[in-house]
Structure 1
């Protein structure tokens, strides 16, 4: 079954366009303000990662033509949600632990405590946009974003959903900077994957692979989907001969958002006329994205 990327969204300081990922990150750009897209209602008690995730979800679902008047235009129980975030609510969890240590559980905020759930971004996304299909969060290091894409593909191919929203997002704050020892991207990307072969596609999802080393992952991708002219990884030496290498590190630490941002960048590559295949490599996971006919 061929799966189509029917919606793409990017929210990073300085760009909301997948094509912007192909160029250097702009210096000194303002942070993304989700209230500009969503309005302030319903955002007040949400943590930064959840607000960014809702922003990305709205943009991707709208781009895929699945959202109108704040709700899905297709049966909500056929739309799944998969989120990848390694650092998402670490600030909330650390704040709660500190409050308990200094005072007691009685001092915890009733409005803040729900944000400590590991699935908060995915659950809030489903509630806000009426997505009642399978709902889960992936949090397993650098490969997390592409693993989220893999889980979405499995849900579609097994018939559990007709569309799956995949969101990769990481916030930039004092806690996340301490955890990664540097600046975090403060945003991410989202995709809508669809099993509808007639849907207008930004890209087609090709082989998904896992090996022991990034170089082996690229080798397996080139064997199964030859002809790649764009390779997105964290090491230039992994790019096959003749392929442009795109690292994406200029945006800050992408962590769990990396693989989803790479897939969005592939859609940007195709939108600018790039063909025929792009490779995304994050940790031991890899994905091939294929240019569809008439890609926008």
Structure 2
């Protein structure tokens, strides 16, 4: 049994698919409009991060062949979801705190308070698309996206599910910009990881976490030598002469970074490239292999 990336989705201003992440971010691109893909029904009282997460989930599950006409094509109890978002509902939480401070809890909107849940993106995704398997949110700084990939891989290998949707998403608004001191990506990426006996799409190899990013980079190249692509942050020094893409031009990806890196690697292989691709975010790292190579 191997783990494969069987579906991908990207929703960023100027990027609607995985290969787009390999190109420079276009200037002044239009924001993603989730209603164009999934319609307006059910989105009215959802925060921006949840709307974007539902958009990504629909696109990735459809790409993996697991969603048709809004319904899962496999048993829902074998479908799980892991979401990575460090800033997702910070605007809702700050708004609620401000309302309570100025008035009282009685002034809170009953339509808005559910969005203050830290698991709101994952729970709304599960409800809308019938994912009755494991449901988890990871909020863990720069490593969050790859940690979400690691948790998904663990649940798949332990037999908890056959497919896990991993979504990394961050919204751009006044609150998130203030928290990171700059523009946020306002979108993200999603991948579907599946248990498989065939070489479907990019194969997920080791997902590691060490005390230092440099140690993670060394361990990735030791376990899977000969990589052609490094997906890393600007301040990371990576070994070898592989092509390096930082994804920083898309704005602050934060919790979406690691998931976007894995989607970009799948896009790299879809263009016919060979050799392992390495993703490095914070102190976490992952190896992805092209479909024709077994890790």
TM over 0.5: yes
Give the Å deviation of 1:196.
2.1
State whether structure 2 residue 211 is matched by structure 1 residue 212. yes
Residues 170 and 188 in structure 1, CA contact (< 8 A), matched pair in contact too: yes
Counterpart in the other structure of 1:134: 134
Counterpart in the other structure of 2:276: 277
Counterpart in the other structure of 2:170: 170
Counterpart in the other structure of 2:143: 143
Q: Give the 3-state SS of the residue equivalent to 2:147 in structure 1.
A: helix
Give the Å deviation of 1:293.
2.2
Counterpart in the other structure of 1:288: 287
Give the Å deviation of 1:230.
0.4
TM superposition score normalised by structure 1: 0.97
Give the Å deviation of 1:71.
1.1
Q: Give the 3-state SS of the residue equivalent to 1:4 in structure 2.
A: strand
Give the Å deviation of 1:203.
0.6
Q: Give the 3-state SS of the residue equivalent to 1:20 in structure 2.
A: helix
- Gaps of at least 5 residues in structure 1 are none
Residues 236 and 245 in structure 1, CA contact (< 8 A), matched pair in contact too: no
Give the Å deviation of 1:210.
1.2
Q: Give the 3-state SS of the residue equivalent to 1:261 in structure 2.
A: helix
Q: Give the 3-state SS of the residue equivalent to 1:275 in structure 2.
A: coil
Deviations along 1:252-282, one digit per CA (max 9) or x if unpaired, are 0000000000000001111111111000000
Residue-pair matches, total:
293
TM superposition score normalised by structure 2: 0.97
Deviations along 1:111-156, one digit per CA (max 9) or x if unpaired, are 0000000000000000000000000100010000000000000110
Counterpart in the other structure of 1:228: 227
> Aligned partners of 2:184, 2:57: CA distance in 1, in Å?
20
Counterpart in the other structure of 1:117: 117
- Gaps of at least 5 residues in structure 2 are none
Residues 231 and 240 in structure 1, CA contact (< 8 A), matched pair in contact too: no
State whether structure 2 residue 238 is matched by structure 1 residue 239. yes
> Aligned partners of 1:201, 1:138: CA distance in 2, in Å?
26
Give the Å deviation of 1:237.
5.4
Residues 234 and 248 in structure 2, CA contact (< 8 A), matched pair in contact too: no
Deviations along 1:198-232, one digit per CA (max 9) or x if unpaired, are 3x622100111111221211110000111111001
Residues 211 and 284 in structure 1, CA contact (< 8 A), matched pair in contact too: yes
